[in-house]
Amino acid sequence: MPQSDLRSRVHALNDRYRHHSAVSVLEHALRDPQAGKLALVSSFGAESVVLLHMVSVTRTATPVIFIDTEMLFAETLVYQQELAERLALRDLRIIRATPADLRSHDPGDTLHLRDTDACCALRKTVPLLRALSGFDGWITGRKRYQAGTRAALDFFEVEEGTGRIKVNPLAHWAREDIRTYMEENRLPRHPLVARGYPSIGCMPCTSPVRADEDPRAGRWRNQDKTECGIHFVNGKMVRKGVSA
């Protein structure tokens, strides 16, 4: 689909659901022909249970894509299994980099020490691009408060260069909204949150956060990097050193 047509669709979707709640946006997006065929991409991280729960009570057959970078915390893998069972997710798809790509680009599992952007591209972006083939868009858990790069985030947006849209039902939520939803629905927290990890990624690139720090300060600490790359499909950092 031409980018101009895609932008028109996204503009119409944002106008249509601008004043809807997060649950309503998700529910309508999963049924609106203008949104197309969608999958939820989840890290099963600190706040992921909110969208996973919303999907489970809205349309439990929604495809859920989990990227196993093979460098995740053991706690994340256990949490993922427990949530999938508890929420009765019917179409969970666990994806990884292909053995051939790993042998070619990171045979010693040390790429993250030399080039975190290339590592994210290899282990996250490329597998996700493959997994999203055949989908018209995907649902993310991004929120405006998480980073300056997300300050103008809307419910629907164009994913540059792919012909897909991204749906961000929680875009306007505050941190307190996340906490309230989890408490009201008695949802289990990621075990690492209580140990000082408010934002959780791969084990080598995630560290605990002090009370006076930004919640994402523990991601790629002391590096000029705030995103893993899966949200910049045609950006330089996404495809650096790796081909799909």
Q: Which residues of the chain have pLDDT under 70?
A: 1-3, 146-151, 224-244
The model's pTM is 0.87
What are the catalytic residues? 228
Q: Using CA atoms, how far apart are residues 64 and 49, in angstroms rounded to an integer? A: 12
Q: What is the pLDDT of residues 7-47, one digit of tens each?
A: 999 999 999 998 999 999 999 999 999 899 999 999 999 99
Tell me 188's DSSP state.
P
Contact 206, 199 (CB under 8 A): yes
| 74 C-beta neighbours (distance < 10 Å), count | 9
Distance CA 218, CA 46 (A): 13
3-class DSSP state of 111: helix
CA distances in angstroms from 179 to 6, 15, 121, 176, listed in the order given? 34, 28, 31, 5
Domains of the chain: 3-239 (3.40.50.620)
For residue 31, which of 43, 16, 11, 44 has the smallest C-alpha distance? 16
Residue 149 is predicted with a pLDDT of 55
